[in-house]
Chain A
């Protein structure tokens, strides 16, 4: 963090993070990764506007309705909503496509199907009606892919949030206090590293109810080791810096030194590790869902879409590619972003594959 601007063009004052951002913006691969990540977020947030069986906005029997917009603000599948759809559109048996006649004005989503809706076409090849085809019960694959994005986004962020919290606390304590605490915590980290992560996660998931919340928690509880090691190293390094000694000499409480003086300066390598961790978490979730221990059908996730595709490999080969491309794209995006972040945070560290 003592790194100052190299050359006139980079001597932007304003602190460490603006400097990192400046460098990141010049990295084309990294920005491509960042754009893909933002795109994933947008697809998740806007999924009811992209693929739904109800219009975004329409004029039906002389009144305005906004079922798609309302759906976007609802927590889907939950019990009570703070925002309800207007009367005919909130009934489950109400088929908007049939009810709305030609003269009713309506904006339809890009893909006029939702992720659970079955059509008469089973395992249909891609066509103009179904852009990516349909699956074994006749659901539109494009709609399922769009609504499955949320699982990957949520699993990535939440599980790595848990992992980062555990890793920073344990690594920080070990690095700051050293001594016996460090020896014990380092052993604990070594023990957890010894288990192949997927084995450990699978072993725990087999006993828990397979749902997205458990998947997120279990991934978070098992993937904190690399974050803890980085945090430990950073805390150890920064502990010896002059400003920490100065704070200690001034009698600043230890907790305050750790949180206010060391933690903000130790976050950079943790952030890089978290970015790579999100890619790994997306991968683990898809793998769990593929094996049947993750998100359960009919709820869509890229993993269980791939499983359904794999099971009908001979009859409907077109189903395999979309989930594969999506998982690969997400992993690649986070890896590119992680590489770019690492280079931007410390250009001297530009090593390792």
Chain B
């Protein structure tokens, strides 16, 4: 098992290097740079050229691209993402750190929610295949799965947030958050989390339910399930003890694929909900043409995805004895 993990990590190393190459060159070879963008604001063209040259020197953008890549890589090895090129000039690491919690808590919440709902639903639908619950839930889930997150969010905000005024939909906390007591703070947070968590999780909930149903249907047709029934086990034990455990194997691999969708989908949703997470930081950095923050976010998210894939592979090998370790 350890050798397997080691080998898998070894394969991931060139991928990691590739990620740095793509991250750096996609951003840096694109036409236009932050110095140009910031110098645009000066009215006099001669002044703007001066500003441009000063800024270019200040940011180190006048160096050859190879040198810049090597320097960036060197700092990256020490997890130093540099200083933001937007107007606040703060270290990128601090900027990302304060935005990490809102996005990660959302991702964790939506993972727990979607798994907690989809496992029982999928199993139940598979056990009672083609009965009423199965037909109705399959149709609804297929529809839900096809609704894009932001297309769901806009009418939801309109109805729940604006028309019925049930839940807040801007930011993480209300304006009077600091004045609230402990219970009031928790309630306020929960209210702010409700809508955006639903929008984050319903897609994977629908997807997982259908997936669990499908794998469960396949497991239920296996010989060992027939054997379990033949030897007189109770139906509950057959389903949960024999079939369900084996149908979990493909579900584990899916978990690794959840992360890119959460991070990628987060931009529009976080802008819509004014949520102070990584997605909105990305959007704000795009507007400010903030090289270091954009590169750091690209790199971090790609690394997280790589990590997710690695963990899924290892978990797969751990739960399925048929996977060869070497």
Interface size of A by Cβ–Cβ distance < 8 Å?
A: 42
Quick check: is A200 within 8 A (CB to CB) of the other chain?
yes
Shortest distance between the CB of A33 and any CB in chain B (Å): 10
Provide the B160-176 mask, 1 if CB < 8 A to any CB of A, else 0: 00110000000000000
* Bound-state Cα–Cα, A203 to B263, Å: 14
* In-complex Cβ contact of A317 among B32, B143, B163, B271 (8 A): B163
Contacts of B286 in A (CB 8 A): 202-203, 206, 293
Q: Mind listing 21 A-B residue pairs with CB under 8 Å?
A: A188-B18, A191-B15, A191-B18, A192-B22, A196-B263, A198-B267, A199-B263, A199-B264, A199-B298, A200-B26, A202-B286, A204-B30, A207-B31, A287-B150, A290-B150, A291-B283, A320-B158, A321-B155, A328-B147, A328-B148, A335-B145
Residues of A within 8 A of B (CB): 187-188, 190-200, 202-204, 206-208, 283, 286-287, 290-291, 293, 306, 309-310, 313-314, 317, 320-321, 324, 327-328, 331-332, 335, 351-353
Quick check: is B302 within 8 A (CB to CB) of the other chain?
yes
Shortest distance between the CB of A286 and any CB in chain B (Å): 8
Contacts of A290 in B (CB 8 A): 150, 268
Contacts of A314 in B (CB 8 A): 162
Which residues from 272 to 294 on chain B have a C-beta closer than 8 Å to any C-beta of chain A? 272, 282-283, 286, 289, 294
Shortest distance between the CB of B2 and any CB in chain A (Å): 23
Asked if residues B267 and A206 are in contact (CB atoms below 8 Å), the reply is no
Asked if residues B210 and A353 are in contact (CB atoms below 8 Å), the reply is yes
* Bound-state Cα–Cα, A309 to B22, Å: 36
Shortest distance between the CB of B103 and any CB in chain A (Å): 12
Shortest distance between the CB of A273 and any CB in chain B (Å): 16
* Chain A contact residues: helix, strand, loop or mixed: helix
The residue in A187, A188, A320, A321 that gathers the most chain B C-beta atoms within 10 A of its C-beta is A320
Asked if residues B145 and A207 are in contact (CB atoms below 8 Å), the reply is no
Contacts of B289 in A (CB 8 A): 206-207
Contacts of B151 in A (CB 8 A): 306, 324, 327-328
Which residues from 135 to 189 on chain B have a C-beta closer than 8 Å to any C-beta of chain A? 143, 145-148, 150-151, 154-155, 157-158, 162-163
Asked if residues B154 and A320 are in contact (CB atoms below 8 Å), the reply is yes
Given contacts A317-B158, A324-B154, A331-B148, contact A287 B268 (CB under 8 A): yes
Contacts of B15 in A (CB 8 A): 187, 190-191, 194
Contacts of A190 in B (CB 8 A): 15, 18
Contacts of B163 in A (CB 8 A): 317
Contacts of B195 in A (CB 8 A): none
* Bound-state Cα–Cα, A4 to B261, Å: 39
Asked if residues A196 and B305 are in contact (CB atoms below 8 Å), the reply is yes
Given A194-B15, A324-B154, 12 more A-B residue pairs with CB atoms under 8 Å apart are A187-B18, A196-B260, A196-B263, A196-B302, A197-B264, A198-B264, A202-B282, A286-B148, A314-B162, A324-B151, A327-B151, A353-B207
Contacts of B143 in A (CB 8 A): 332
Contacts of A327 in B (CB 8 A): 148, 151
* In-complex Cβ contact of B297 among A188, A199, A351 (8 A): A199
Given contacts A199-B301, A204-B30, contact A351 B155 (CB under 8 A): no
* In-complex Cβ contact of A313 among B147, B162, B306 (8 A): B162
Q: Residue of B at shortest CB range from A290?
A: B268
